[in-house]
Amino acid sequence: MSENLRKRSGVAGDAENVQEKTDGADTHSDKENIHSNLRDSEIDSEDDKNGRKGSIDLSSNIPTGTNKAPFMLEMLLQDLPDKWRNWVVRGIFSFLMLTFFLVVIYGGPLALMITTLVVQVKCFQEIINIGYSVYRIHGLPWFRSLSWYFLITSNYFFYGESLVEYFGVVINRTDFLRGIVTYHRFISFCLYCGGFVLFVLSLVKKYYMKQFSLFAWTHVALLIVVTQSYLIIKNIFEGLIWFIVPVSMIICNDIMAYVFGFFFGKTPLIKLSPKKTWEGFIGGGFSTVIFGFMMSYIMCQYPYFVCPIEYSEALGRMTMECEPSILFRPTMYELPGFLCGLLNTFGLPTTVSLYPFMLHSLSLSLFSSVIGPFGGFFASGFKRAFKIKDFGDVIPGHGGIMDRFDCQFLMATFVNVYISSFIQTDSPQKLLTQVLYLKPEQQLQLFHMLKDTLENRNILVPSV
Amino acid sequence: MSENLRKRSGVAGDAENVQEKTDGADTHSDKENIHSNLRDSEIDSEDDKNGRKGSIDLSSNIPTGTNKAPFMLEMLLQDLPDKWRNWVVRGIFSFLMLTFFLVVIYGGPLALMITTLVVQVKCFQEIINIGYSVYRIHGLPWFRSLSWYFLITSNYFFYGESLVEYFGVVINRTDFLRGIVTYHRFISFCLYCGGFVLFVLSLVKKYYMKQFSLFAWTHVALLIVVTQSYLIIKNIFEGLIWFIVPVSMIICNDIMAYVFGFFFGKTPLIKLSPKKTWEGFIGGGFSTVIFGFMMSYIMCQYPYFVCPIEYSEALGRMTMECEPSILFRPTMYELPGFLCGLLNTFGLPTTVSLYPFMLHSLSLSLFSSVIGPFGGFFASGFKRAFKIKDFGDVIPGHGGIMDRFDCQFLMATFVNVYISSFIQTDSPQKLLTQVLYLKPEQQLQLFHMLKDTLENRNILVPSV
């Protein structure tokens, strides 16, 4: 074991020292040698303020062999100037990702959930692998398994919690599964404690600091990745629109900020990400608001997008059919006074028919274009802190999965909080589901208690 | 600003380098200079396996001036040999803490909650201060405020969540407070986003790594301290017994493991904490099981301890009076077969009257004596990793608050999960509270839905 433990001088302590210490030829016995590539890559574009990221010399940084397309692409594109070549690579893969996104949406909620899970696992892997590179304890046994163990445990916990909530009524019917539901938290906690004990037992003298740092690293990664992907799943259950619109907004904001930055970018926005410009930020913001508004208008018309995924007692299965809620029914709005006068002069109507969701979409687009980019700045800062260019190299022209999803996580939480604060107050339907968990005699007890309180307050006329 | 930023060589990266680098004379402009004391103190007791912690030469390590008692004590105790002197200091302060604990229990749930809050803040402070010492960015502006800001935000979130749950019905009556309840999560999230944005804006080049590490450090501290103290509060609401018994078990286990270790300790238990012995572990475990069993027996008799804290619709205030649940009513248990034969021979009864809670106390005491100590090992490992002796110096002979509460946090989570899995399934009373949040017409709607489903399943006889 201790042969593998490689003593190296500290990396985490002082950012300035890192660059000198990261010697180029760093081959690990470990199968993942992505990181030696990552660490060798230079961040050489401090002074280029045109695009968001496009002008980093990608061609030399894309690790070859991960994927055949970039190689073929490079052959095709070799005569183009660098800047344009990157633009094309980036464009093609943006297009591919968008297509994939549409296919998954077409696949329905289950496909979306599985994709979320896969993305989550990839993001976790990327974050954890950076941790391994930073603390250089590739050789320490147990640790890799332990991180994954915690990932599985916390997924079991969170997905369990949400599945129990939605499929509870079904599960409750079979006695065997009832146990899994009732004891789900207990099982999760025991699994966690097991991991905790294993961690303590796996501590090796002289590596305490690194092991604790990685333990913390693992937990922060779980906090970012697992909890938020759980929120994404919860949003999907509220209706596909709550997932698709916010995700598209972030994508739109990313792309439009890049485009505006590329063509008009002059004024640097923040020192942290020297390639982000005020022009991109503002242009992206406006585009996102308009895009979100239009997209909401289109999606509000299809029950497929607006209906929450619920268990139908009548059909005996999950459904996505419903009478659309008030949010998704056209409503007449009076335009503000100063506009009315103007419109009257031209003999135009002073009211407009909108879906109320479209107004909510404004909050979402504002968040995604004002706070959203800070997710990206945070990720840039993080990458700078640890002297890495990208989180991974899965998507040519874009970096790792985490590079594309940095803003999505914050957005998912916002949407979830937004729904629970402004949209969904406990519905009678939801509470009934909870009531049906009770034993029959307790259900009856609740019925009588409810009857009494309603009669006392004269809401229900006492039956004779 | 940048005058304060002191360039130092890295600490976090490599544990081995730390000792050389921590030069003794390290006076900060910062008012907390506790840590320079901490870092100078030596961990010199690797080979002493007698007590749990007693034989570290405390007299020279207790920072003077924090507290007058230790100084006076030292004068009184100066003729005693070192080992005994520490024993006495430790003993006296254990006694003082126990007295304080009893006083707080006597003070009732509100006193307990406030104490929990204070302990939580102290623990957070200790963990964060260690972070500051480790990463040595005392001078960076913003950061200290930012950590505390996150502490306040997350407390607002968690305490809000639990207070809303319990006082919801009352709050719901006044329209102004209704807003705070409904938008509580949204406000918390906005506050958090504010902190997040401030963090990104406060990033200073060359300090990225340290700032991100401390950001992670802050979040891990919040995860450990705030979430778990929230669970402690939730346990208190279930009935004081769910708080007092587990806390006492950990205290008992700590003390008895120390006593057994001190008198009989020979076989080292774990490399991580060289002063913990198998004798202490086993002796402490047995004592805890017996102690927990007896303590439960006594406490089960008082409604003050066993009644959950609930809002009484009739009285219009919170009460701790109730018809004790089945858990706290004496129940006859048949003894296992092999004992019955033996008891029959002597003409003794083969049944025994117990409170069912006493059986649950066995699970709790087992957890607190088997897994509980790992909380302590974890803390020891952590302290070793960062080359500190104690988390703080608030309690003479014991170190910081965190040193005494390291095992309590894990226990609180266990109790909470245990209650939610094995004790409290949704009660009709709890669900009714939730129903009363709904608008009157929704309450009526739920009433009719419930009536229909009950009638369909023949649980309720349809009224003519």
Instruction: Give pLDDT tens digits along chain B (464 positions).
Output: 333 333 333 333 333 333 333 333 333 333 333 333 333 333 333 333 333 333 333 333 323 334 445 667 767 777 777 767 777 887 888 888 889 999 998 888 888 888 988 999 989 988 888 888 777 766 666 778 888 899 999 988 888 777 766 665 555 555 666 666 668 888 899 999 999 999 988 888 878 888 888 888 899 999 888 888 889 988 988 889 999 999 999 999 988 998 899 898 888 888 777 788 899 999 999 999 999 999 999 999 988 888 888 766 667 667 777 788 888 888 888 877 777 777 778 877 778 888 999 999 999 999 999 998 898 889 888 888 888 877 777 777 777 778 778 788 889 999 999 998 888 766 777 778 777 777 777 888 888 888 888 888 877 777 65
Interatomic CA distance for residues B89 and B95, integer angstroms:
10
pLDDT given at position A165: 63
- The alpha-carbon gap from B292 to the nearest alpha carbon of chain A, in Å, equals 21
Q: CA of B10 to nearest chain A CA: how many angstroms apart?
A: 3
Task: Return the H-helix or E-strand segment holding B319.
Answer: strand B317-319
Q: Closest CB to A421: pick one of B13, B182, B206.
A: B182
Residue of chain B with shortest Cα separation from A199: B378
Q: What distance in Å separates the CA atoms of residue A54 and residue A92, rounded to the nearest whole number? A: 13
* Contact with chain A for residue B220, Cβ under 8 A: yes
User: pTM of the predicted model, to two decimals?
Assistant: 0.77
The segments of chain A whose pLDDT lies below 50 read 1-68
Q: Which of A15, A431, A457 sits opposite B209 (nearest CB)?
A: A15
Q: What is the pLDDT of residue B273?
A: 78
| Average predicted confidence (pLDDT) for chain A | 76
The tokens describing A47, both together, are 């002074």
Q: List the 306-365 stretch of B: residues with Cβ below 8 A of A.
A: none
- Pair type for strands B317-319 and B310-312: antiparallel
ipTM above threshold 0.90: no
Which of A 268-287 lie inside 8 A of B, CB atoms? 270-272
Q: What is the pLDDT of residues A121-158, one digit of tens each?
A: 989 988 888 888 777 766 666 778 888 999 999 988 88
Contact B385 A209 (CB under 8 A): yes
The answer to whether the CB atoms of A10 and B11 lie below 8 A apart is yes
Given CB atoms, is B180 within the 8 Å cutoff of chain A?
no
How many CB pairs below 8 Å do chains A and B form together?
A: 235
A266 touches chain B (CB under 8 A): no
The DSSP code for B426 is P
Q: B160: which chain A residues are within 8 Å (Cβ-Cβ)? A: none
Give the Cα separation of A375 and A379 in Å (integer).
6
Which residue of B lies nearest to A208 if distances are taken between CA atoms?
Answer: B385
At what angle are helices B184-202 and B175-182 packed, to 10 degrees?
50
SS3 A346: coil
Residue A35 tokens read as: 């990181």
Here the tokens at position A340 are: 């009315």
- The angle formed by the CA atoms of residues A117, A120 and A122, to the nearest 5 degrees, is 110
Interface of B with A in 109-138 (CB under 8 A): 135
The encoded tokens of residue B241 equal: 């017994």
What pLDDT score does A312 carry?
Answer: 67
Output the pLDDT for position A415. 94
DSSP class per residue in B222-239? HHHHHHHHHHHHHHHHT-
Q: Using a pLDDT cut of 90, give the percent of chain A over it.
A: 19
Pick from A199, A124, A127, A181: nearest CA to A154: A124
What burial letters (b/e) apply to A54-81, b meaning 16+ CB within 10 Å?
bbbebbebbbeebbeebeebbeebeeee
Pairwise CA distance, residues B425 & A434, whole Å: 11
Judge contact between B445 and B456, C-beta under 8 A.
no
Task: Kindly determine whether residue B13 and residue A15, on different chains, have CB atoms separated by under 8 Å.
Answer: no
> Which of A16, A219, A449 faces B206 most closely, judged by CB atoms?
A16
Interface test with A, best of B137, B197, B209 (most A CBs within 10 A): B209
Amino acid sitting at position B104: V
Report CA Rg, chain B: 26
A182 and B216 within 8 Å at the Cβ level: the answer is no
The three-class DSSP label of residue A354 is: strand
What is the number of alpha carbons within 13 Å of residue B76 lying toward its C-beta? Answer: 10
A379 touches chain B (CB under 8 A): no
Q: Residue with structure tokens 């966690």?
A: A192
Neighbours of B142 (CB within 10 A): 16
- Beta-carbon separation of B12 and A209 below 8 A: yes
Helices then strands, counting H and E runs in chain A, come out as: 19, 4
Which residues are CB-neighbours of A41 under 8 A, at least 6 positions away?
Answer: A61, A388, A389
Of B196, B420, B449, Cβ closest to residue A432 = B449
Nearest to B383 by CA among A12, A217, A198, A209: A209
B413 and chain A: CB distance < 8 Å anywhere?
yes
CB contact A191 to B (< 8 Å):
no
Inter-chain contact B197–A374, Cβ cutoff 8 Å? yes
Residue A441, SS3 per DSSP: helix
Tell me, rounded to whole angstroms, the distance of Cα B161 from its chain centroid: 18
Contact yes or no for A463 and B463 at CB 8 A: yes
